[in-house]
Amino acid sequence: MTGALLPLFVAIPLTAAGITAFARPGRRWPLTVLLAVLAVHVAASALLLGATRDGEVYADGVGGWVPGIAIPFAADALSALMLTFTGALSLVCCWYAIASGVGRVRLFSPLVLAMIAGVNGALLTADAFNLFVFIEVMLMPSYGLLILARRGQGTERSVRGSRLYVTFNLFVSTLFLVGVGLVYATAGTVNLGLLAGAAKEDGRVAAAAAVALAALAMKAALVPTYGWLTRAYPSTSPAITALFSGLHTKVAVYAIYRLYAVIFDGDERWLLIGLVVCGVTVAVGAIASVGEQSMRSMLSFSMVSHLGYILVGVALFTPAGLAAGIFYLLHHMVVKAAQFLSAGAIEDTYGTDRIDRLRGIGRREPLVAATFAIAALSLAGLPPFSGFVAKLVLVIASIDAGQVLLAVVLIAASLITLLAMLRVWNAVFMSPVPEGESSTRRIPWSLAAPGAILAVVTIVLGLGAQLLIPLTEVAAEGLLDTTTYVEEVLR
């Protein structure tokens, strides 16, 4: 494995997107291409994970220019972990999308492939401006996916959600671009290798990079800018919500981890801001999720809360905190998608996801009910699921760092999450089947299986946490000590 292969993570999906865009309507081969590319992606990132598991870093400067000007790609354990999980998750979500019919809309395959190219680029790049470009490459197809529907079946609701989503993301991207511009003005470079520790030494660079970080925090839906997520995500089709929940905000979270570790070198002076913002996000998201009337809105608010949990890791910036945050990030990608997919299977079959209109699902759909229950308990942090391990290591890390108040907030919020989940569980799943309703509608297994697979993954991650924790510890080491990363990028 050499670094020179890294750009292929972007090049292959992008080429495939270009080819599949020319497919005639109704043809099935673009879906085959999509699934094949994703399968290769998962295999390649698993190999990359194997190659980086002892802390090695692979890098490549595209174009053969001198270090600092070339287009740098770099992969360490954190990028490899993220690549593996995003790839596997996209594969499962695409399966669901194809089964639910969204995947058969004409431009689905090229849009998803282009988005994957953007995600991979953002996870691998070692240059702040390229990060902006790759985030745009990721966002552009997602604007299309958001309103993707069969001819004549598009809804005004999805257009409205899309308007909010596009305008907000455009604003945030512009802010990020301004931040990158200011970093260039103050530091004279946007290469992460050359920027290493620059913000710790020079307050002007810190102020400039803070603009970029603020933009990423908005993209990661932290308080006070979380309203876009909770309004846009429920407005699109369930398959797309699940796909976005695993990719978009998580790329922003990854970028915050990377930029704070490299540019700020984990500067302790600003960590308190992160702790306060994350703590408030955790609390606000959890409380707001209790009062929602539809399943996907409830899940979106709960997602805001968990994004707060994930970023507590970087706000602590201790070895245990970072490893816990990364574990939480991976756990959350799997579990949230499992939940969105099980809620989506119900919505796609029964035509609504409003909590007050669904009754007796638990008796009719045991597999979907089990998936939802496992994911809900995992999110709330009960053993033996991965959420328990994730919350446990995070709470221990925050107590070790002396943040007892934060630990209290984290535990209280998970109880509130449990409350919100139980409310949905009692109303939708455990209630008796309404009398006189002789509906023969059943969720087909092809819609139930993708979520169920992810539910199995959360059990495996919970019982076999010892397999993943060493990897997250290596990834955290790479963030604490960026010397190897910087050396490889500048080689």
Partner 1 sequence: MILALSIGVLVAGAVFLMMSRSFIRVVLGFVLLSHAANLLLFSTGGTSRRAEPLGKSLDPVLTADPLPQAFVLTAIVISFAITIYLLSLAITGGRDEDDEDGDDA
**What is the contact surface with partner 1 in residues (CB under 8 A)?**
129, 133, 136, 140, 143, 147, 154, 156-157, 159-160, 162-163, 166-167, 170-171, 173-174, 177-178, 180-182, 184-185, 231, 293-294, 354
**Cβ proximity to partner 1, 292 vs 365, nearer residue:** 292
Q: Closest separation between CB of residue 178 and partner 1, Å?
A: 5
Would you state the structure tokens that stand for residue 217, as one six-digit string?
């925090």
From residue 448, give the alpha-carbon distance in Å to each of 238, 326, 342, 402, 459. 13, 28, 7, 43, 17
Q: Closest separation between CB of residue 404 and partner 1, Å?
A: 38
**Cβ proximity to partner 1, 185 vs 272, nearer residue:** 185
d(CA 106, CA 27): 8
**Cβ proximity to partner 1, 302 vs 378, nearer residue:** 302
Q: Closest separation between CB of residue 108 and partner 1, Å?
A: 17
**Cβ proximity to partner 1, 292 vs 473, nearer residue:** 292
**Cβ proximity to partner 1, 136 vs 400, nearer residue:** 136
Q: Closest separation between CB of residue 234 and partner 1, Å?
A: 9
**Cβ proximity to partner 1, 32 vs 167, nearer residue:** 167
Q: Closest separation between CB of residue 166 and partner 1, Å?
A: 6
**Cβ proximity to partner 1, 100 vs 130, nearer residue:** 130
Residue 63 in contact with residue 70, Cβ under 8 Å? Answer: yes
**Cβ proximity to partner 1, 32 vs 293, nearer residue:** 293
**Cβ proximity to partner 1, 228 vs 328, nearer residue:** 228
Q: Closest separation between CB of residue 12 and partner 1, Å?
A: 22
Q: Closest separation between CB of residue 181 and partner 1, Å?
A: 4
Q: Closest separation between CB of residue 156 and partner 1, Å?
A: 6
Q: Closest separation between CB of residue 159 and partner 1, Å?
A: 4
Q: How many CA atoms lie within 13 A of 287 on its CB side?
A: 9
